[in-house]
Structure 1
C-alpha cells in the first residue's frame, strides 16, 4: 500500500502502517474489514452512504461475555420471555448518529434469529426481540461488538438502563468559572495600564498564563460544542452548535495570534467569560426543564385501573396501588398491567404489543404472565409478582405496534427553522467580518463576527415548542385529561369534527335503572349469567354484574366475546349467550328509548334486561357548546329507539347513526378524514378501538374499569366529560402562545443581530443575553400556558 495517509473506509482512522485492502477499499485493521464484509454480504452497504466512515473500530472481546452463558445472569437482562421469544434491552453508549440507528435497526439482516430491533436514541439503548432457539443473547452481544457497538452491561444495575451522566455539566461550570475569574484578575492591569505592577517585561508571561488558563475552558468546558459541531458537519447538516463552536474557535486563535506576534493581550477575558456564561445558560436551562418536569409529571397520573380481589370483595384501584402479592382480575380484552402468576382462568394471551407476534399464547395455572399481554379468553385471576412500572406502561402506550404515528408538525417546524437558521447566521457573520475588515477595523470585525455567532443561537426557538406544549400536557394531566404526547395538543387545536360513541361514553354506567322482562332464571342460570358477565369489560356488562346476586362464581370452559354483538360462554354442557336481540335469537322489538341486553341459554331465549339510559351530567351543556363550532355526530351499536329522544334533547344538526358495528364506526371516521375533516373520536376504548386509531385524536372515557387503551391518544376521566370544550379551547390558545413565542424568538434575534453586526455588542454580553433569552422564553410560555388554563377547576 503506497499511500499510508489514507483513512479507513469503515471508521475513518488513519491506515498508516497497515496494508489491508478489501473490495478496493482501505481498512485500518482486520476488525474493520470484517465489519465491512458482514455489512456488504448482507446487503447493508447503504450504511456508508449516510456519512463518510460512520463506523467504530471493533474491540477485542475474546471471552469477555462468557458470563452470558449463565441463564440466571442473562435472564436479568431480559425484559420479556415466553417460549422462544425473548426481548432484551441493552445500553450502547456508542450510538451517536443516524447511521448508528440505521444499522442497529437492521440487525435482523445480519442474523436470522433476530426478529426486530428498535433504537431509543435519547437513552442510547436498543430493544432486541429474538428467537432463543436460533440465537442466544451472548451471540447478539458479540454481533454488536463485531460491528463496533459494544453494549455496556453493568451487572450491578441490570434492572434499568443506565442514564447518560449529567453531572459533568457541573464540573464544566466549575472549570469555566475558575478560568474566567483568574483570567479577569490577570487582565486588570491591562485594563487600567498600571505600569508600576505590569512592567513591560512581565506582560508576555502573564499573557501566556492567561492562554494556559483558557485551555481547559476551551477544550473541556466548551468541548461539547466542538464535538457536536464535528458530528453535525460529518453528517452533512449544520446544527445550532456550529456557529457557537466557530465563534469560540475564532476568538481563541485570534487571541493566540495577538500574544504570539505581540499585537496585544488578545481576548482571553472575553473568551473565558463567553464560555462561563454559556455554561451557566446550559445549566439554567437544564434546571428549569427538570423543575417543570412535565414528562414525569404526566406519567405519575397515568390512569390505569385494575380490579383487586380481597377475599370475596372486589374493588377498582389505580394500577400503581398494586403491590407484590396482591390478587387482581384481568377480564376479556383487558391488558395485563403488571407481571404476575396465573391463579385461575383460561389464559390466551396476545403479546403482540410487546413482541410484535400476532399468535396468541396459551398459559397454564402457575405460569408467569408478563405485563403488556392482552387476555383473549375470559377472566383471569393473577397474583402480582411486583409493583407496576409506569414508565413501562407509557412505553407500551407509545409503541409503534399500536398503529400509525400521527404527525408532530410543530416539532418538524422547529427542526426546519433550525436547519435553515444556521446557514443564514453563518452568512451574516462572514458578511459582517468581511465588511469591517474592508473598512480597516480589525478589532470590530472579529467582535462583530463572534457576537453574531453567539447572539443568534436559536435555543429560544428550539425550546418554545417542548415547554409550551409540554406544560399543557402536565396541566391537563392534573385535571384528569391524560395525553399520550405533546403533539396531541396541536391535533386537538385543529379539530373540526367530533364523533361520540353512545353506550359508556355519553351514557353513564353508574346510575341506570335496570329492569328484567322474561322467564325467571333458575339459580344455576343466575350463576352462569353473573360468572359470564364477570369475564367481560364492556360497560353494560359491568353495570349488570354489579346488581346481580348469585350463589357462587363459576369458571367457564369456553368464553368468547364478539365485538358489537355479545358474549358466549359454556359451562360443562350448558351454554349461555348475552347480547343483542339478534345474537340471542329474539325477534321482538326493543323498548323505545331503552337499551336492552338479551339472554338465551342452550339456544332458548329467556328474556332481557332493559337499561334506562342515564346520560352523563353536563351532556346537554357539552353538545350545545360544541355545536356552535364543530360538526358533531353520534355513532352507536344500539338500535334507533333512542333517536327521537336524543333529537328532542340535543341541538339540531347533530348526525346520529345507529346499529353501527365496530367496522362501520371505523369506516365512518375514515370517510370523514378522506373529506378533509380533522376528526376527534370519543369512545369507551372497547368496540371503538379501530375508530379511535383511525381518528386524528382518539379519546377514551374512563370510569372504574381497566382504561388502558393503546389505540387512543388521550384518556379522559368520566368526571371531566363536560370539560371537553374547555380542553379543546385551551389547546387552541396554547398553539397561539407557541406562535407568539416563535415571533418573540425571531424579534430577539433580529434585535440582537442589528447590534452585533454593527460591532457595538461584545461577545461576553452576547453570551449573557443568549441563555437569558432562552430562560425568558421558557418562563414566558410557562406563565402564559398556566394563565390560559386558570379556569380549569
Structure 2
C-alpha cells in the first residue's frame, strides 16, 4: 500500500503521520484499532480487503444507553442475562466488515454471537447483560470504526433506507446516456451537412466528457464486485460485465483519439443505465416482496384469541393487537411480546438464542415473541402488535439452515462458471484468426466480442423470474423461505405425505365413543387436558366434547407420537394410544382411536373416521403422473383399505411410524438418489421436514412454527399443490428460455463482432433491446404459466 495512505482506513495522510509496527496511520484512532485487532488475533481482517476500515469516531454520544427504559425499548429480546439487539451499521460495505462484525466475541468475551445482514446493513448481537452493557458494546463498535445508527424517534419501527448511492448513480447514468444519444444522431445518419470538421471534434469531445461520469462513477460497483470475485478466485457474472465496460471505454477512446470513428460511448452509457435500472427495479421488487412477507407472511396460520365472554376464536396472526388475550397451547409459538396471566409457563427460547434449556415463568412475567410454550396451555395479554419481521428472522436463523443448502448452487451460479471462459475463448479465437489477416481488424474484433457479449440480460433473468414467482405463490398463501426453494421444487421426483392433519382435515371428523359415561367433572378434566395440545386428533376431540369450564392443569406432558399426561386437582389423566395407557389393542380395532384413562381407571376410546380433504383423490391422480408418491402415518393401518381405494395404485403406505422413523424413511429415500418433498403438519413431522430436500408445513388454524421447513402452505390451498409444483418447473423453463433468448442476442451481436462489422448504431440497438426484452419476457411468461395453471396473479378484490 502507498505510504501516503493510512493502512487501516485508506485515507490520505494529510497531517502528522503515525508509524506503528512499520505501518502508516493517519491518526491515533486507526492505530488503536490496528493494535486491538493485532492483540486479539484478528489480523485476517486485512486479508479480505486493502484498507477496509473506517476512521473510528471519537468520544461517546451514547450516554442515553445508560437509561434502562430506553434500552428496554431498543432490545429485540431480554430474558435473564441474555439480551439481543439489532443495530443499523451504515459503514458495512465489504467482506472484511462482515468478518470483523461476526467475530465481535473475540474482542468482547461476553458477546455470545453476532450475525450480519449485509443487505440491510444490520448486525444482530446476542450478549450477556450481566457482564457487559449495551453502551459498552456500542462504544466498542465506535472504537473499531463501525458506529451504529440509533434513532430514538422511531425505534422499533425502523424502515429499510433507500440506497441513495444507487439512485445518484442511476441519475448520472441517465443524464449521460440521454445526452450522448442525442449528440450521436448525426453520426448514426451521417449528416455531413451538419457534421463540419470543427463541430465533429467538438461534439465528440463533449461525448467523451459526458461518458466519464458514467464510466468512473455510475459503473464503479461492477468493478468492485468483479475485483472481489477475482481475489476470491471465483468466476461470477460481474467479471464479464466489468470487462465489457472497460474494453468498451478503451476501444471508444482509441477510436476517437485516432479518428477511427465515434466509438461506443452511447452503448456504454446505455448499458450502465439499463443495468442500474434493472438493479433498482430488482431492489424495489424484493423490498416489496420483503414487506409482503413481513406482514402477511410465512404465517398464514391463526392464533387463538379469547373473547370477552371467554369463548375462543381463531384470527390471523397479523390481526393481533395490543390488549388482546391469547391462548397458547403446547408447542405453539408466542407471536408477540406479552404478559403471562394466571398460570405458570415453561418457555423454550431456543428459536431465539439457541439455548435449549426452558425458562420458567410465573403470572405477571413478560414473555418475548419467538418463545415456544412447553406443556399446558397458557393465557397471555399482548403488549404490542405482532412483529412478523422479527419472527421471520427466526426462520432465517442459521441454527435452522439445512445442511444441503450450503452446497447448493443456483442456475445462475452454474452458468456463470462457464460464461466467462467461453467469452474469453471466443474473443481470443477471433483475435487469432484476424491477426493473420489484418492486425487492425483483429483488435477491433477482440474488443467488439467483449463489448457485445456483456451478460447484463443474463444477470437479470433469474432474479426477475424467481421474484415474480415468489409474489404469485405468496398471493396463493404458499410462502417460500427464499427463491432457491423454487429451483429445488423443480427437481423434486418423490413426494411424501403425512396422513393425520395433512391429507385429513382437523375441522371435520365422524367421532364415536365406546366406554363409560363421563361425569361433568370428568368431562372438564378431559377437555382441559386436551386444550393444551395441538395434535389434530386432540383438536378434533376438543371440539367434539361438550363445552366445559377450563380447569387449572398442574402438570402437562405431551409425548410425540404417543399421547398426553396431565394432573388436575390431584387427579391423573392419560389420553393417547392404547399402548400409551397400557391397554392392549384389540385385533379387530384397526381404526384411528384415542383412549382415556383417569387415575388408572380405563374409561373407553374415541374412534375417528377421518374426513379427508376435498380434492385429495384428484390431487394424487395428477401427482402420480410425474412423481413417486409415499404416505407416512403414526396411526395404525386400519384405514389402509379405504386409502387404497382413494389413492393411485402403487402409492406406498407406511403406518405406525414414530417421528424419528419418519426422518429415517426420508433419509433412506435420499440415499437412493431421490429428491424428496415432504408435506406435513409441522408437529410430529419437524425432523422429516428438516431432512427432506424441500419441506412444506401445512397450516390449519394452529400457530405451530417449524423453522426448519422451506415453505408454509395454507391448508385451504391443498388442492393446488400440483399447480405450485408445475409452476416451479415452468419457472425454470422460463429461465432457460430467456437464457436462450439472451444467447440469441449474443449470437447476432457476435456475428457482427467476429466479422469486424460491429458499428456503434448496431451496438446501441442490440444491447439495450436485449435487456428490456429479457425482463419483459420473463415477467410475461411467468404470469402466462400462472394463468395457464389457473393460479391467479392478482390479489382478489
Taking structure 1 as the reference length, what is the TM-score of the superposition? 0.89
Does structure 2 retain, via aligned residues, the 8 Å contact 1:31–1:57?
no
Kindly state the Cα deviation for residue 532 of structure 1 after the two structures are TM-superposed: 1.1
Matched, 1:559 2:553: no
Matched, 1:59 2:59: no
Aligned to 1:49: 47
Aligned to 1:283: 277
**DSSP 3-state at the match of 1:38:** helix
Does structure 2 retain, via aligned residues, the 8 Å contact 1:4–1:18?
no
Aligned to 2:343: 345
Kindly state the Cα deviation for residue 117 of structure 1 after the two structures are TM-superposed: 0.9
Does structure 1 retain, via aligned residues, the 8 Å contact 2:590–2:636?
no
- CA 1:36–1:656 in 2, change beyond 3 Å: closer, same or farther? same
Matched, 1:535 2:532: yes
Matched, 1:310 2:307: yes
Aligned to 1:374: 372
Does structure 2 retain, via aligned residues, the 8 Å contact 1:189–1:198?
no
> For the residues of structure 2 that align with 1:343 and 1:552, how far apart are their CA atoms?
17
Of 325, 328, 346, the match for 1:327: 325
> For the residues of structure 2 that align with 1:640 and 1:139, how far apart are their CA atoms?
61
- CA 1:178–1:445 in 2, change beyond 3 Å: closer, same or farther? farther
* 1:41-77, Cα deviation, whole Å (9 max, x unpaired): 33333333334x2531432321233332233333333
- Over aligned residues, Cα RMSD in angstroms? 3.5
Kindly state the Cα deviation for residue 622 of structure 1 after the two structures are TM-superposed: 3.3
Kindly state the Cα deviation for residue 88 of structure 1 after the two structures are TM-superposed: 1.0
Does structure 1 retain, via aligned residues, the 8 Å contact 2:337–2:366?
yes
Aligned to 1:354: 352
Corresponding pairs, count: 783
> For the residues of structure 1 that align with 2:499 and 2:62, how far apart are their CA atoms?
57
Of 657, 660, 672, the match for 1:660: 657
Of 766, 777, 780, the match for 1:769: 766
| Pairs within 5 Å for 1:499-518 | 499-518=496-515
Does structure 1 retain, via aligned residues, the 8 Å contact 2:30–2:55?
yes
* 1:306-336, Cα deviation, whole Å (9 max, x unpaired): 1121122211121112122222221110111
> For the residues of structure 2 that align with 1:453 and 1:110, how far apart are their CA atoms?
46
Bigger Cα displacement from structure 2, 275-284 vs 536-545: 275-284
Matched, 1:783 2:777: no
Does structure 1 retain, via aligned residues, the 8 Å contact 2:282–2:463?
no
| Pairs within 5 Å for 1:30-109 | 30-51=28-49, 53-109=50-106
- CA 1:411–1:465 in 2, change beyond 3 Å: closer, same or farther? farther
Bigger Cα displacement from structure 2, 461-470 vs 243-252: 243-252
Bigger Cα displacement from structure 2, 135-144 vs 110-119: 135-144
Of 116, 123, 128, the match for 1:131: 128
Does structure 2 retain, via aligned residues, the 8 Å contact 1:354–1:372?
yes
Does structure 2 retain, via aligned residues, the 8 Å contact 1:514–1:609?
yes
- CA 1:437–1:160 in 2, change beyond 3 Å: closer, same or farther? farther
Does structure 2 retain, via aligned residues, the 8 Å contact 1:301–1:478?
no
Matched, 1:736 2:730: no
Of 600, 608, 611, the match for 1:611: 608
Kindly state the Cα deviation for residue 526 of structure 1 after the two structures are TM-superposed: 0.9
* 1:501-534, Cα deviation, whole Å (9 max, x unpaired): 2222222222211122112222211111111111
Does structure 2 retain, via aligned residues, the 8 Å contact 1:308–1:329?
yes
Does structure 1 retain, via aligned residues, the 8 Å contact 2:410–2:484?
no
* 1:412-451, Cα deviation, whole Å (9 max, x unpaired): 3412433553465466557767987887786x77765665
- CA 1:475–1:451 in 2, change beyond 3 Å: closer, same or farther? same
- CA 1:404–1:530 in 2, change beyond 3 Å: closer, same or farther? same
Aligned to 1:365: 363
Bigger Cα displacement from structure 2, 54-63 vs 335-344: 54-63
**DSSP 3-state at the match of 1:503:** helix
Aligned to 1:21: 20
Bigger Cα displacement from structure 2, 126-135 vs 29-38: 29-38
Unaligned 5+ segments in structure 2 are 792-797
> For the residues of structure 2 that align with 1:711 and 1:180, how far apart are their CA atoms?
47
Kindly state the Cα deviation for residue 362 of structure 1 after the two structures are TM-superposed: 1.8
- CA 1:216–1:614 in 2, change beyond 3 Å: closer, same or farther? closer
> For the residues of structure 1 that align with 2:2 and 2:505, how far apart are their CA atoms?
78
Kindly state the Cα deviation for residue 600 of structure 1 after the two structures are TM-superposed: 1.1
Does structure 1 retain, via aligned residues, the 8 Å contact 2:56–2:146?
no
> For the residues of structure 1 that align with 2:7 and 2:432, how far apart are their CA atoms?
38
Does structure 1 retain, via aligned residues, the 8 Å contact 2:57–2:147?
no
Bigger Cα displacement from structure 2, 235-244 vs 112-121: 235-244
Bigger Cα displacement from structure 2, 685-694 vs 649-658: 649-658
> For the residues of structure 2 that align with 1:777 and 1:379, how far apart are their CA atoms?
54
- CA 1:297–1:767 in 2, change beyond 3 Å: closer, same or farther? farther
Matched, 1:483 2:480: yes
Matched, 1:415 2:413: yes
* 1:254-275, Cα deviation, whole Å (9 max, x unpaired): 777788x7x559848x525631
Of 509, 516, 520, the match for 2:517: 520
> For the residues of structure 1 that align with 2:255 and 2:664, how far apart are their CA atoms?
73
Does structure 2 retain, via aligned residues, the 8 Å contact 1:331–1:535?
yes
Aligned to 1:146: 143
> For the residues of structure 2 that align with 1:439 and 1:649, how far apart are their CA atoms?
74
Bigger Cα displacement from structure 2, 472-481 vs 502-511: 472-481
> For the residues of structure 1 that align with 2:500 and 2:186, how far apart are their CA atoms?
82
Kindly state the Cα deviation for residue 488 of structure 1 after the two structures are TM-superposed: 2.1
Matched, 1:469 2:466: yes
> For the residues of structure 2 that align with 1:618 and 1:314, how far apart are their CA atoms?
29
Does structure 2 retain, via aligned residues, the 8 Å contact 1:408–1:487?
no
**DSSP 3-state at the match of 2:487:** helix
Aligned to 1:274: 268
- CA 1:640–1:234 in 2, change beyond 3 Å: closer, same or farther? closer
> For the residues of structure 1 that align with 2:572 and 2:738, how far apart are their CA atoms?
64
* 1:688-736, Cα deviation, whole Å (9 max, x unpaired): 1111111112222222222532232222333333433333333333323
Does structure 1 retain, via aligned residues, the 8 Å contact 2:114–2:126?
yes
Kindly state the Cα deviation for residue 759 of structure 1 after the two structures are TM-superposed: 3.9
Aligned to 1:401: 399
Does structure 1 retain, via aligned residues, the 8 Å contact 2:30–2:56?
no
Does structure 2 retain, via aligned residues, the 8 Å contact 1:282–1:771?
no
- CA 1:213–1:468 in 2, change beyond 3 Å: closer, same or farther? closer
Does structure 2 retain, via aligned residues, the 8 Å contact 1:251–1:267?
no
